[in-house]
Amino acid sequence: MNTAKSGGQLPGPFRWLWAGAAMSNLGDGMLLAAGPLLVTTITRDPLAVALAPFAQQIPWVLFGLLAGAVVDRVNRRQLMIMVNLLRMLVIMALAVVIFSGALGLPVLYGCLFLLGTAEAFADNAATSLIPTLVPSAQLGLANSRLFGTITVTNQLAGPPLGAMLFALSHALPYAGFAALLALAVVLYSKVALPLPAAGSARPPGTSMLREVREGIGWMRRHFAVRTLAILITSFNVTFGATFAMLVLYATDQLALGNIGYGLLMSASAVGGIIGSLLFPWLESKFNYAVLLRTGLVLETLTHLALVLTHQAWVAMAILFLFGIHALVWSSVSSTVRQRAVPDRLRGRVNSVYMLGSVGGIAAGSLLGGVLGQVFSYRAPFWLGFVGSFIILLLVWKSMTHIAAAGSHGDEE
């Protein structure tokens, strides 16, 4: 049961981290719109277009586990500063190449690969750093505020800003992103770490491979964290399958145009913002087991409700509720992991969790595309409902134990 409730002002060091994350995610959001637009100025080939996000995601698979071991070896704040400086330099170089008119696909793919590699290290370091900056009782509040800010900057504000800047100049969104990253580095540099700095001591006489195995082994033995990782991977497969077909669902079943589809996508982001505002109240009224179970039920019913409705406003309402659930679920699951995982292992355990999360969505998107081609765009929605329902039944009783992980200093 969740016995520690959030409240009060969040610590100053976390607020600097929070502000830096807002800047970098605003830039990421700008590229969500500007990136695909840039690719289409070079080629309209579907495979070539699809390779752009793939080039940025594949480093998570290739280097995710290595990133976790590095995060646990070094000073995490310094690592965040270093890799964000690298991102800034890559983006600046890309902006110059775009402005010169010499951009080609190999250069673009290479830059995206470097950006994805840096993100794998930076995001893990930031996640691992939070529990050292925030008291355990305030972790839920801190996570909800951070995820809510990311929703605003990455999903709502960033894409229209990126599209507007791209219309003015193809290089402008990238130059703007570089400036935002420079500001983020300044903000991260103001994060004061407790002494000794988390993750700053390198274990003597141990290899990187052995450290990775140690993190995986700890996670395999820890029931709660292991189950959370399996849950997020499984539910992201069903989520990825459904949402890969969302554009066809919107145009065929809901008869929406481009603007309507944009509003449909925004409904989930607006729900995420509301979820961030509601989270402190929800955390004070309900224990984490209730919040986790409710979230799993909502996600399961989302697939069914979407496939059954032909009304656009109903679908938007469903995705609005899904957005609230996604924010609450992310905040609760992150808090449980941060409390349960020992500081010296947080980077490595986070890497396994994030690998399952990203890999689950990628596998689900591929599965959804195959099912949609063989059957119809509705097939992944039914798969999502049935698969989520089975998973829900399997883990229902475990939610109480999972929710309590780490609340009493339990590291199993």
The answer to whether residue 201 sits within a structural domain is no
- Distance CA(355)–CA(233), nearest Å, equals 9
Q: Which domain holds residue 315?
A: 208-412
Instruction: Examine the domain organization and report whether 18 and 156 are in the same domain.
Output: yes
Q: What is the pTM of this model?
A: 0.84
Domain endpoint, select from 193, 228, 246 = 193
Instruction: Examine the domain organization and report whether 89 and 28 are in the same domain.
Output: yes
pLDDT number for residue 198: 45
The answer to whether residue 202 sits within a structural domain is no
- Distance CA(343)–CA(359), nearest Å, equals 25
Domain endpoint, select from 129, 164, 193 = 193
The answer to whether residue 143 sits within a structural domain is yes
Instruction: Examine the domain organization and report whether 52 and 127 are in the same domain.
Output: yes
Instruction: Examine the domain organization and report whether 85 and 178 are in the same domain.
Output: yes
The answer to whether residue 203 sits within a structural domain is no
pLDDT number for residue 34: 87
Instruction: Examine the domain organization and report whether 10 and 74 are in the same domain.
Output: yes
The answer to whether residue 1 sits within a structural domain is yes
Instruction: Examine the domain organization and report whether 187 and 225 are in the same domain.
Output: no
Instruction: Examine the domain organization and report whether 337 and 300 are in the same domain.
Output: yes
Instruction: Examine the domain organization and report whether 232 and 121 are in the same domain.
Output: no
Residue 39 exposure: Cα atoms within 13 Å on the Cβ side: 22
On average, the pLDDT of the chain sits at 88
Contact 229, 353 (CB under 8 A): yes
- pLDDT digit string, tens, across residues 200-245: 445 555 688 888 888 889 999 999 999 999 999 999 999 988 887 8
pLDDT number for residue 205: 58
The answer to whether residue 243 sits within a structural domain is yes
What sign has the CA pseudo-torsion 309, 311, 316, 318? negative
Window from 32-36, 192-196, 317-321 with minimum mean pLDDT: 192-196
Amino acid at site 28:
D
The answer to whether residue 199 sits within a structural domain is no
Give yes or no for residue 119 having a pLDDT over 60: yes
Instruction: Examine the domain organization and report whether 253 and 226 are in the same domain.
Output: yes
CATH number at residue 212: 1.20.1250.20
The answer to whether residue 136 sits within a structural domain is yes
